[in-house]
Structure 1
């Protein structure tokens, strides 16, 4: 079942790129931008991660933390984050529990894991979700949702 606007952030624990347990509840008093992407080191996913990296300060200024999730393992995430100098957490969803909890569907005729971004307010209620295989569209979409919520 897919998350709908107004739904609360699912309670999950996943491994981060350092192999540590990461609970979404760790991020208190901040909005959350959670983006699901297909695979580390692919051209579109690299472009998307770098887009979030390059706009990270703007997300922080809007009171939001960014988290990336894919089905890659922690070691792959560590290499990806190090190579691209990513300032945000990457979470490993090898068993696809997060994809299932958020309702992220496969893209490209079911051939690739979906690319979807979720924006939660400070109360961890979903205020925006965006599903598009176009990697660069997710950053302005998330920023606009946060700006709207701030008004």
Structure 2
């Protein structure tokens, strides 16, 4: 069973795109978050999703929220992906799939592809919305709407 609306985001640690240690305790419970899981760096859908989050990143920041992208790609893959597309938000490497498992992110397409799921939390780290869809660019407006509702 995965996380549900009303659950609090569990603690997790990972490496970011720069190889730095990321600890969720430093950010969860301090500001609204958009945590999105995606299948793979440099694939058409994932690139479109990341660039859409990039293009609307200021809208999220203006509302006091942070965006975190998570996939099982390596730190070096994330670094290249982040630099190539000038991604201003945090990318985390979940190469052992522990975070994905912790959240209960399902696999898409008959279990062949990692899932594409977005979680929106309030400033207390409580999940307010979960959006599960392989339609990559649909995640950004859904997440922004949910954040706008939280802060209004």
What TM-score do you get using the length of structure 1 for normalisation? 0.97
What is the alpha-carbon root mean square deviation over aligned residues?
Answer: 0.9
Cα deviation, residue 18, structure 1: 1.0
Cα deviation, residue 96, structure 1: 0.6
Cα deviation, residue 58, structure 1: 0.3
User: Could you tell me how far apart the structure 1 residues matched to 2:123 and 2:90 are?
Assistant: 18
User: Could you tell me how far apart the structure 1 residues matched to 2:150 and 2:90 are?
Assistant: 23
User: Could you tell me how far apart the structure 2 residues matched to 1:4 and 1:54 are?
Assistant: 28
User: Could you tell me how far apart the structure 2 residues matched to 1:62 and 1:101 are?
Assistant: 27
1:80 aligns with 2:81: yes
- Superposed CA offset, 1:19-67 (max 9, x none): 1110112226311100000000000000000000000000011110000
Query: What are the residue-to-residue correspondences of 1:29-40 with 2, within 5 Å?
Result: 29-40=30-41
Structure 2 unaligned spans of 5+? none
4+ aligned runs moved over 3 Å, structure 1? none
Give the number of equivalent residue pairs.
151
Query: What are the residue-to-residue correspondences of 1:134-149 with 2, within 5 Å?
Result: 134-149=135-150
Query: What are the residue-to-residue correspondences of 1:38-57 with 2, within 5 Å?
Result: 38-57=39-58
